[in-house]
Amino acid sequence: MGGTGKMKLIVNGKRLDGRGLADLRPMTIKAGVLNKADGSAYIEWGNNKILAAVYGPKECIPRHDINPYKAVVRCRYSMSPFASFEEHGRTGPNRRSREISKVIQEVFENVVLAEHFPKTAIDIFIEVLQADGGTRVAGLTAAAVALADAGIPMKDVVAGIAAGKIDGQIALDFGKYEDNFGQSDMPFAVSLRTGEVLLFQMDGMLTKDEIAKAIDLAFEGAKTVSDLQVKALKARYTEKEEKGVAPAPEALPQEQPAGGQQGEQPY
Ligand code: CDP
179 CB near ligand 1 (under 6 Å): yes
pLDDT on residue 243: 83
Which runs of consecutive H residues, i.e. helices, occur in 72-116? 95-109
The 10s digit of each residue's pLDDT in 76-117 is 999 998 998 776 666 778 999 999 999 999 999 999 999 999
Helices 135-149, 95-109: axis angle to 10 degrees equals 40
- Give the chain's mean pLDDT: 90
The 10s digit of each residue's pLDDT in 205-245 is 999 999 999 999 999 999 999 999 999 999 999 988 888 86
pTM recorded for the entire structure: 0.90
133 CB near ligand 1 (under 6 Å): yes
The CATH code of the domain at 14-242 is 3.30.230.70
Supply the DSSP symbol for 85. Answer: S
87 CB near ligand 1 (under 6 Å): no
pLDDT on residue 240: 85
Q: What number is the average pLDDT over the span 171-191?
A: 95
Give the Å distance between the CA of 221 and the centre of ligand 1: 21
Give the Å distance between the CA of 78 and the centre of ligand 1: 11
14 CB near ligand 1 (under 6 Å): no
74 CB near ligand 1 (under 6 Å): no
Strand partners, 175: none
How many residues appear in the chain?
A: 267
In this predicted structure, the answer to whether residue 72 has a pLDDT above a threshold of 70 is yes
Asked if 143 contacts 183 with a C-beta cutoff of 8 angstroms, the reply is: no
